[in-house]
């Protein structure tokens, strides 16, 4: 291996969002701490655990090379100490390898061997980085191993004892997987510490478990505030700022949240929304949470109920002061979705008669137009 590209080292994204995976490790449950080590982590470790900086690659045909065009081996050598490691990977053929690796050494050392075998049979892996014991050379300093299909091997003189726990058996057991904690209530009054355990002096912080999909939501003076004041140059079409949270499999629940707009900071048609059952994102479509979104335009005195990009219902609502604090509740129970603004029910819709598609479960969401918008006292309650 001269280089390897992993899209991300650690995938910390709600599982219903697009492009799931593509990382050496998954950690999608910060509330339980559960994580998953992926096969790509071990195939990377075959090299990274048996080499160190300043080792030299041996040239092709002089220690490294292809195995009959269906695999490869790369030798790393520490020229000072003569320590070396050989990393072998096979693709679709198997062969027997005998190779002299010890030119110039007084006596050929025995090598520690670790093997990853992708398939023992259809359903079982043969294990990751399994300790295969020591491989001794024959009297001509030739080492022989039987290579199977889809295998990686590391043969090394390196003393791996100091990180034995990461070779072979995985000693650390991840915490048990667990559901998102419900009911969930957050007033944003105490910003969580950052990854280094520090609380920002100005009190501005990311909100734990929230996953922004467009715009930026940060805790500011005890509220969660959308920060991006205008539509940016987009990476992909971004309909509106939104952030999601919760359990991808929850069906019947309500989201309750307070919001406030500042008259000096927002356009006339400013809006906010709260959503439930956000699921099945289409990454090529406009980035709008594809769930039930109750959208309120305080200054225009109207509301809209969306199912993703599809308008389900609409109406008027009067606010004495559009820029005071108001409350939205959106609730989904079976085939019905309900909306409340400041405690008054504005909609009760049997959605299955109106839309096709899977709006049966998913994450909670909040969002706004491209302007600042403050949210407070957020709750997810099972109903």
Report in angstroms how near the CB of residue 28 gets to ligand NAG at its nearest. 7
Nearer to ligand NAG among residue 36 and residue 377 (C-beta): 36
Of residues 48 through 87, those in contact with ligand NAG by CB under 6 A are 68
> Is 213:242 a contact under the CB 8 Å cutoff?
yes
> Are the C-beta atoms of residues 215 and 240 closer than 8 Å to each other?
yes
Q: Which of 4, 15, 30, 262 binds ligand NAG (CB under 6 A)?
A: 15
Considering the complex, what minimum distance in angstroms separates the CB of residue 361 from ligand NAG?
8
Nearer CB in complex with ligand NAG: 93/354? 93
CB of 248 to ligand NAG, least distance (A): 5
86 versus 341: smaller Cβ distance to ligand NAG: 86
Per-position DSSP letters for 35-73, written without gaps between them = EEE-HHHHHHHHHHTS--TTPEEPPBTTTBEESTTSEEE
Residue 237: CB minimum distance to ligand NAG, A:
27
Contacts with 116 (C-beta within 8 Å, 6 or more apart), sequence order: 39, 42, 43, 46, 126, 127, 128, 129, 130, 151, 152, 153
Least distance from ligand NAG to the Cβ atom of residue 15, Å: 5
Site for ligand NAG in 249-288 (CB under 6 A): 249
Size of residue set near ligand NAG by CB under 6 A: 5
For 346, list phi and psi in degrees, rounded to 5.
-110, -20
Q: Which is nearer to ligand NAG, 272 or 380 (CB)?
A: 380
The CB-of-63 to ligand NAG minimum distance in angstroms stands at: 18
Q: How far is the CB of 217 from ligand NAG (least distance, A)?
A: 22
Distance, in Å, from the CA atom of 320 to the CA atom of 62, rounded to the nearest integer, reads 82
Nearer to ligand NAG, 32 or 125 (CB): 32
Site for ligand NAG in 233-252 (CB under 6 A): 248-249
Q: With respect to ligand NAG, which residue has the nearer C-beta, 207 or 363?
A: 363
Closest distance to ligand NAG from the beta carbon of 262 (Å): 37
Q: Both tokens of residue 182?
A: 């419900």
Give CA 45 to chain center in angstroms: 21
**Encoded tokens for 268:** 């006339």
Q: How far is CA 269 from the centre of its chain?
A: 34
Nearest approach, Cβ of residue 182 and ligand NAG (Å): 12
Of the pair 64, 249, the CB lying nearest ligand NAG is at 249
Give the x-and-dash track for 292-331 against ligand NAG (CB under 6 A).
Answer: ----------------------------------------
Q: How far is the CB of 2 from ligand NAG (least distance, A)?
A: 24
Query: What is the Cα–Cα distance from 269 to 216, expressed in whole angstroms?
Result: 20
CA distances from 382 to 144, 179, 199, 255, 274 (A): 62, 13, 31, 9, 16
Residue from 7, 19, 20, 95 touching ligand NAG (CB under 6 A): that is 95
Query: Rounded to an integer, what distance in angstroms lies between the CA atom of residue 49 and that of residue 85?
Result: 10
Nearest CB to ligand NAG, comparing residues 68 and 208? 68
Site string for ligand NAG, 159-178 (x = CB under 6 A): --------------------
Question: What are the C-alpha distances in Å from 313 to residues 275, 279, 302, 308, 381?
Answer: 14, 20, 11, 12, 23
Q: Are 232 and 220 in contact (CB under 8 A)?
A: no
Which of 224, 363 has the CB closer to ligand NAG?
363
Please, which residue, 21 or 267, has the CB nearer to ligand NAG? 21
Please state the φ and ψ torsions of residue 71, each to the nearest 5 degrees: 170, 180
Under rule CB under 6 A, residue 30 binds ligand NAG: no
Phi, psi angles (nearest 5°) of residue 260: -150, 135
> Which residue shows structure tokens 């709008």?
288
Residues making contact with ligand NAG (CB under 6 A): 15, 68, 95, 248-249
């Amino acid at each position: 291996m001269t280089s390897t590209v992993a899209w991300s080292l650690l995938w910390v994204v709600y599982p219903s969002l697009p492009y799931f995976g593509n990382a050496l490790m998954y950690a999608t449950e910060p509330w339980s701490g559960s994580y998953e080590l992926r096969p790509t982590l071990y195939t990377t470790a075959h090299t990274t655990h048996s080499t160190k900086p300043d080792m030299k690659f041996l040239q092709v045909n002089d220690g490294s090379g292809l195995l009959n065009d269906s695999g490869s081996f790369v030798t790393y050598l520490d020229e000072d100490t003569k320590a070396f490691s050989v990393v072998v990977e096979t693709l679709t053929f198997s062969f027997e390898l005998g190779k002299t690796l010890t030119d110039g050494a007084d006596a050929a050392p025995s090598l520690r061997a670790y093997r990853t075998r992708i398939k023992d049979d259809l359903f079982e892996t043969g294990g990751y980085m399994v300790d295969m014991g020591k491989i001794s050379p024959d009297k001509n300093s030739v080492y022989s191993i039987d290579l199977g299909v889809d295998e990686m091997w590391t043969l090394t003189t390196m003393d791996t004892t100091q990180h034995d726990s990461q070779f072979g058996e995985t000693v650390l057991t991840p915490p048990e997987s667990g559901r998102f904690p419900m009911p969930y209530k957050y007033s944003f009054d105490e910003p969580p510490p950052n990854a280094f355990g520090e609380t920002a002096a100005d009190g501005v912080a990311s909100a734990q478990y929230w996953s922004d999909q467009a715009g930026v939501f940060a805790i500011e003076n005890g509220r969660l505030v959308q920060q991006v004041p205008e539509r940016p140059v987009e990476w992909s079409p971004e309909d509106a700022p939104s952030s999601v949270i919760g359990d991808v499999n929850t069906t019947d629940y309500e989201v309750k949240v307070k919001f406030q707009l500042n008259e000096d900071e927002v356009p006339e048609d400013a809006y906010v929304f709260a959503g439930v059952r956000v699921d099945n994102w289409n990454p090529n479509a406009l980035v709008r949470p594809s769930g039930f979104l109750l959208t309120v335009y305080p200054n225009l005195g109207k509301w809209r109920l969306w199912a993703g990009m599809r308008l389900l219902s609409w109406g008027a609502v009067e606010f004495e002061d559009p820029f005071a604090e108001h409350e939205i509740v959106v609730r989904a129970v079976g085939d019905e979705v309900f909306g409340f603004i400041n405690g008054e029910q504005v909609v009760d819709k049997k959605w299955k008669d109106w839309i096709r598609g899977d709006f049966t479960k998913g994450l909670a969401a909040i969002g706004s137009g491209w302007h600042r918008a403050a949210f407070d006292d957020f709750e997810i309650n099972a109903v």
